[in-house]
Amino acid sequence: MRGISKRLLAGLCLLALTACGQPAAEKKPAAGGPVGGNAAGGTLKAVRDRGYVSCGASTGTVGFGAPDSHGYWRGLDVETCRAVAAAVLGDKDKVRFVPLTGQQRLTALQSGEIDILPRTTTWTLSRDANGVNFTLPNYYDYDGIMVRKDRGVSSSRELDGASVCVQTGSTTEVTFTNLVASVAPNLKAVIFDSTQATRQAFFSGRCDALITDASGLASVRATMASNPEDFIIFPADGKLSPLTPAVRHGDDQWFDIVKWSFQALLMAEELGINQANIDEMRNSQDPTIRRFLGVEPGNGAALGLDEEWTYRIVKQLGNYGEMFDRNVGAGSPLKLDRGLNRLFRDGGLMVPMAFN
């Protein structure tokens, strides 16, 4: 992530320190109104009564959220939501995914159509102040630009005069505007209102460049380019984008459950607990491990859950490192470097909080 300042990294470190197998066809919410919980509280009860967690999803970004050839949703964001289902309903597959465009996603959360929005959504002030609560980042990204290598450019400044495919309803609109104001005044925006239309326009040659999250560009390059080696991705402006699951305002208990379900994935990696050894680890005499896995009670009751909620998350999904590798890392088509998404102890920005 060249171009990212140490000052910005320090700021995000501080931020981090403080701060389902259903087929695609099942994605639509029940007819007759919202499926989400009560905006004034009670989401946990609503989810239990309904029997599944309703999750906002992208309209198809391999690695983060997309149905496979069998209609089973996979991806880092998808598994972030499955972790909550494992915690509160005992089964990671008790979920339903609602594909949403960039313009639809926040409204769907605020209106109660969905319970959680884990959809490559950047944590920003305007979003945070308008009806949603961001939990903690599940992926640190940056806005990127993709062009064909044969254009011979490797920075935003060299793109001046080029046309750029931009999707509405995304933070990259702001990034593009900033580029025009400060770096490349002659850039020309070609605007689209859906992810797929934006991508197809780029590959059909309607634009010289495509701008969006760098991880999304890596997904597009791996899955849509006839020859991925023909394309290069570089940072748009050098600023990080913390992609963060969100819940709506008004339900602190649900906010805590979603936040700590993701934290359980991080803590499992910190403690060396994975999907293969978790049953053995329950016999550990380490008090931290015993408390984390609910052998010693307390953490479950604090959230209104039973004491085995962390056990179920790791048993069914593994830890964050395992989740990262199979969805976007070495075990995936994207093969993204762990980078800033390493644990804090390993030089990254992912900080496991104390389970006590």
Write out pLDDT tens, residues 49-62.
Answer: 999 999 999 888 99
pLDDT tens-digit series, residues 271-284: 999 999 999 999 99
pLDDT of residue 203: 95
Residues 159 and 236 both lie in one domain: yes
Closest CA to 349 of 69, 140, 119, 106: 140
Whether residue 33 is contained in a domain is answered as no
| Tokens describing residue 198 | 């934006």
- Cβ pair 340, 8 in contact under 8 A: no
Above 80 in pLDDT, residue 10?
A: no
What total number of domains does the chain contain? 2
Residues 192 and 158 both lie in one domain: yes
Q: For residues 122 and 140, give the distance between their C-alpha atoms in angstroms, rounded to a whole number.
A: 9
pLDDT of residue 285: 97
Whether residue 104 is contained in a domain is answered as yes
Residues 273 and 196 both lie in one domain: no
Whether residue 32 is contained in a domain is answered as no
Residues 110 and 175 both lie in one domain: no
pLDDT of residue 280: 98
Question: Which residue range forms the structural domain that includes residue 209?
Answer: 142-241
User: What confidence tier does 119 reach under pLDDT thresholds 50, 70, 90?
Assistant: confident
Residues 183 and 229 both lie in one domain: yes
* pLDDT more than 70, % of the chain: 88
CATH of the domain at 203: 3.40.190.10
Residues 77 and 224 both lie in one domain: no
Residues 85 and 173 both lie in one domain: no
Beta carbons within 10 angstroms of residue 30's beta carbon: 10
- How would DSSP label each residue in 229-253? GGEEEEEEEEEEEEE--EEETT-HH
**From edge to edge, which strands make up the β-sheet containing 163-167?**
188-192, 163-167, 209-213, 139-148, 231-243
Residues 150 and 236 both lie in one domain: yes
Residues 272 and 233 both lie in one domain: no
pLDDT of residue 158: 93
Listed in sequence order, the residues at least 6 apart from 104 whose beta carbon sits closer than 8 Å to its beta carbon are 169
Residues 133 and 266 both lie in one domain: yes
Residues 130 and 146 both lie in one domain: no
Local structure of 127: helix, strand or coil: helix
pLDDT tens-digit series, residues 23-73: 333 333 333 334 444 445 699 999 999 999 999 998 889 999 999 999 999
